[in-house]
Amino acid sequence: EWRRTPPNDRVQYFYKMKGLLEEHVEELGCIITEECGKTFEESVGEVRRAIENVEVACGIPMLLQGYNNEDIASGIDEHMLRQPLGVVATIAPFNFPAMVPFWFMPYAVACGNCFILKPSEKTPMASEKVFELWQQTGIPAGVVQLVNGGKEAVDRLLEHEEVGAISFVGSSEVARYVYGQATAHGKRAQCQGGAKNPVIVMPDADMEMTAKIVADSSFGCAGQRCLASSLVISVGEAGESFPEAIKAAAASRKVGYGMDKGVEMGPVITAESKSRIEGLIGQWEKEGAQVIVDGRGCTVSGYERGNFVFPTVLENVDPMGEVAGIEIFGPVLGLIQVADLDEAIGLINGARYGNMACLFTDSGAAARKFRYEATVGNVGINIGVAAPMAFFPFSGWKNSFFGDLHGQGRHAVEFFTQTKIVVERWPREWSRKF
Ligand code: NAD
């Protein structure tokens, strides 16, 4: 029935949903801060990015337009139509409980599919609220559905023969598993994984501005962002000035409860996550790195049982060591020094992840070389979090992504539809009758 609902009628629910999300931005922001730990400002920012995707999906009557060729031979026309897949599902991570589902949900539904969301078991409350708002739009029952649970729920969705496509966002290990299982069961799959997001700082960069932007990227959302930069590669003389600049920016960051005014960074998601992150800092030290800002063992007054890890910076990180290659997913930044841009790009291109890489420079030639050569899905030039707007597709390369079509924008429309080619013959002599 939903498929038969004209696209123009489908998007009426999205206009209502946009209004409802706007009205509930602050309420959703509070829920996210309470369950996820990030600051209220970060939570509200996340909801705004979710709304952007609803806005783009409102354009679906145009985005769904196919191709037509008349008279490919005498009296024969050919068309390409886009039709929905049926039922599709998204499996989401904990770190952006409102935004990540919206990379997929509005497009899937606007294209005429019914949609199932399996949120993270660590942050289920933001989705509860979003689905309450869906109900208020009057969208027909069953068009959007919420299923809570962990691995068991995921496996059931991966095996279910009526689920036509899986969108996954989470760690690379699980992304690889979900991609393998989904495709083995004949489904389309787009699976976004983990990241390291290295940043190159050239000697001609404005050090103060660079340190401020890198600090926001590395320590914002307590480093639990798939676009958080967690390695800085300083080129030449930048290796002398950058560590001092980032040290000051890291040490001055205000850590605390996300609803308190002036707090710039909240806790990490769980006690296990805190001890994993602190363990990896120790391992980096054993590999020869020096901790120049130490965020281990710190507490916030009034919240002594909180899972706080304060901003941490390590110098002289071994680029070939184990920790430089794995995702820490906490507010921890490693510093590496190299002789030139070629060596820096070589490190990025040799790494297992390919979500984002950034360059800070004053040189157009360096920027062009970097943009051209870096083997990552998102490039930032003098930007610390190169998150695409909702009308651009979003995802990484290498072990940061398994699949081909990405989330958001036109890629999402292609992912959530299948094309049908129609060839029609209406001989000219038949039309003479009319
Ligand atoms: P996670 O992989 O632990 O969990 C993600 C989802 O998979 C959850 O819904 C969870 O219930 C499910 N899951 C977990 N283990 C499973 C298993 N063994 N089998 C089946 N399903 C399983 O990830 P997380 O800790 O919630 O989120 C953090 C990770 O997500 C980080 O690695 C981060 O980089 C990544 N992430 C990536 C992007 C991106 O765009 N590339 C965006 C956000 C987060």
Segment 355-383, tens digit of pLDDT: 999 999 999 999 999 999 999 999 999 99
Is residue 237 pLDDT above 90, yes or no? Answer: yes
Q: How many CB atoms lie within 10 A of CB 328?
A: 25
Please tell me the predicted confidence (pLDDT) of residue 429: 85
Residue 137 CB burial class (10 angstroms; 0-12, 13-18, ≥19): middle
Which residues 6+ apart lie within 8 Å of 169 measured at CB? 90, 91, 92, 93, 100, 103, 175, 191, 192, 226, 407
Cβ of 120 closer than 6 Å to ligand 1, yes or no, is: yes
In whole angstroms, what is the distance from residue 19 CA to residue 97 CA? 19
Is 36 catalytic? The answer is: no
pTM of the complete model? 0.96
Q: Per-residue pLDDT for 428 more than 90?
A: no
Place of tokens 């507490």: 299
Q: Measured from the CB, is residue 95 less than 6 Å from ligand 1?
A: yes
CA 355 – ligand 1 centroid, Å: 15
Structure-model confidence comparison of residues 432 and 341, the more confident one: 341
Per DSSP, 342 falls in state H
Separation of CA 315 and ligand 1 centre (Å): 29
Compute the distance from residue 294 Cα to the ligand 1 centre, in Å.
27
For residue 159, what are the contacts with CB-CB under 8 A and spacing of at least 6? 181, 185
If you write DSSP's letter for every residue of 122-169 in order, what string do you get?
TS-HHHHHHHHHHHHHTPPTTSEEE---SHHHHHHHHH-TTEEEEEEE
Give pLDDT tens digits for 24-53. Answer: 999 999 999 999 999 999 999 999 999 999
Decide if 257 contacts 304 (C-beta within 8 A). no
Q: Which of 300, 299, 301, 280 is nearest to 291 (CA)?
A: 280
Residue carrying the six token digits 């949120």? 119
Q: Which one of 49, 159, 169, 277 would you pick to mutate in the ligand 1 pocket, going by the greatest count of ligand atoms within 8 A of its CB?
A: 169
Nearest atom, ligand 1, residue 118 CA: 9
Q: Rounded to the nearest 5 degrees, what angle is found at the Cα of 396, between the Cα atoms of 83 and 221?
A: 110
Cα gap 348→395, rounded to integer Å: 17
Compute, in angstroms, the gap from residue 183 CA to the centroid of ligand 1: 18
- pLDDT class of 430 with cuts at 50, 70, 90: confident
Q: What is the DSSP letter of 324?
A: G
What is d(CA 400, CA 376) in angstroms, rounded to the nearest whole number?
9
- Average pLDDT of the residues in 303-324: 97
What torsion, rounded to 10 degrees, do the Cα atoms 349, 390, 31, 11 define? -150
pLDDT tens by residue, 145-174:
999 999 999 999 999 999 999 999 999 999
Catalytic residue among 111, 114, 191, 226: 226
